[in-house]
Amino acid sequence: MPVQRLDNRVVLIHPKGATAELLLYGATVISWKAGSRANSEPAERLFLSSKALLDGSKAVRGGIPIVFPCFGPPTHPEHSRLSQHGFARSESWELDSTVTDNDDGVSVRLTLGPTPSIIAKYNRSFHLAYVVTLQEHQLSTDLHVTNTSTSDGLEFQALFHNYVLAPADEVLVYPLQNIMYYDKTEATEEGRNKPKVESRSNVDVRKFTDSVYEDASQKYEVMWPGEGVQIRTSGLKDVVIWNPQSEAGSKMADMEDGGWKKFVCVEPGCVRGFTNIEPGKTWVGQQVLSVVLM
Ligand SMILES: O=P(O)(O)OC[C@H]1O[C@H](O)[C@H](O)[C@@H](O)[C@@H]1O
């Protein structure tokens, strides 16, 4: 069976050996295994902390959590009762359907609408659909946000919080040179709100990094010796590069010891300002993660 529905998760299996696993909780992709040219044996491509809670009690530390409708602590008045990064990553989604299932790709669709627990903190008319597609060397995630109101606009932020499994002391992300960014590691609010311009041709995360690049290239190479992952996006104008290092990582209860040495978060999203959807319309944000075949 190329799509297996287990108790609290869905497993996609591609005929050529790649697999992906999603929790219904948060629609969080917690594993993506794919081979490369040098080694056709499928290997894990996403970091998942061994201390991550997978029982639905806390957003998952690793994989691909979905950030919606706010990035970071809420700043929009309509989001005031939400926690950091919103609710999409910490609500149970429904498995709606298998979209495709053939030699080319295996794809499922999950959905989330207003439930009593969401309405209690976010009383807006919306519908989310999330399509995850697995191919031999590729994983695509598409988030569809529909404004189901007939009268009011819907303002939101959204982001895919990809934990790419990579040696943090060697990995480089590019191209980000000359792009304006906001450095959230700055100590003061003034410092955090002051735009900087990226001077590096290759961005590393050897020190604590939390940078929000605005209007970026929408195509990123995440490379380390002998391996890499490419991320192509559409509808997602910004990208966040994050690695807490021990400075912030050692304070996280669900981060495994030294876990920050094993990943870089490359997080495409629309998080600077808010995106507005007219009543009855749908917005789509998409990313395609591909193993760089070397
Ligand atoms: O700990 P979390 O709520 O999962 O957030 C983890 C990180 O997400 C993003 O990368 C933000 O830019 C960081 O500021 C934040 O620390």
Pocket probe for ligand 1: among 210, 239, 264, the residue whose CB has the most ligand atoms within 8 Å is 210
The alpha carbon of 265 and the centre of ligand 1 are apart by a number of angstroms equal to: 9
Pocket probe for ligand 1: among 66, 160, 161, the residue whose CB has the most ligand atoms within 8 Å is 161
Token pair recorded at residue 67: 């950030």
Where does ligand 1 bind, in terms of residues with CB under 6 Å? Answer: 59, 72, 84-85, 184, 210, 240, 242, 265, 267
- Asked whether 161 and 64 are in contact (CB, 8 A), the reply is yes
The alpha carbon of 73 and the centre of ligand 1 are apart by a number of angstroms equal to: 10
The alpha carbon of 61 and the centre of ligand 1 are apart by a number of angstroms equal to: 10
The alpha carbon of 72 and the centre of ligand 1 are apart by a number of angstroms equal to: 7
Residue minimizing CA distance to atom 10 of ligand 1: 242
- Asked whether 46 and 64 are in contact (CB, 8 A), the reply is yes
What are the pLDDT digits (tens) for 17-45? Answer: 999 999 999 999 999 999 998 889 999 99
CA distance 79 to 73: 9
Give me the phi and psi of 26, to 5 degrees please: 75, 0
Q: What pLDDT sits at residue 37?
A: 81
The alpha carbon of 149 and the centre of ligand 1 are apart by a number of angstroms equal to: 30
Residue minimizing CA distance to atom 3 of ligand 1: 84
Find out whether 45 is annotated in a ligand binding site.
Answer: no
Evaluate if residue 1 carries a pLDDT over 70: no
Residue position matching structure tokens 């303002």 = 155
Q: What is the DSSP string of 194-250?
A: S-EE---SSEE-SS-EEEEESS--SEEEEEETTEEEEEEEES--EEEEEE-HHHHHT
User: Any idea which residues carry the catalytic annotation?
Assistant: 161, 267
Domains of the chain from N-terminus onward: 3-166+247-293 (2.70.98.10)
Evaluate if residue 191 carries a pLDDT over 90: yes
What are the pLDDT digits (tens) for 84-95? Answer: 999 999 999 999
Q: Confidence class of residue 104 from pLDDT cuts 50, 70 and 90?
A: confident
Alpha helices in 92-234 (DSSP H): 116-119, 189-193
What are the pLDDT digits (tens) for 56-97? Answer: 999 999 999 999 999 999 999 999 999 999 999 999 999 998
DSSP structure class, residue 82: -
What is the rounded average pLDDT for all residues in the chain? Answer: 97
Q: Which atom of ligand 1 is nearest to the CA of 89?
A: 4
Q: What pLDDT sits at residue 45?
A: 98
Find out whether 84 is annotated in a ligand binding site.
Answer: yes
Contacts of 121 (CB under 8 A, 6+ apart): 81, 82, 87
Q: Of 134, 161, 207, 132, give the one whose Cα is nearest residue 47.
A: 161
Residue minimizing CA distance to atom 13 of ligand 1: 210
Token pair recorded at residue 186: 């700055």
* pTM confidence score: 0.98
Provide mean pLDDT across the span 195-211: 98
Reported ipTM: the value is 0.98
Residue minimizing CA distance to atom 4 of ligand 1: 61
Q: Which atom of ligand 1 is nearest to the CA of 252?
A: 1
Find out whether 232 is annotated in a ligand binding site.
Answer: no
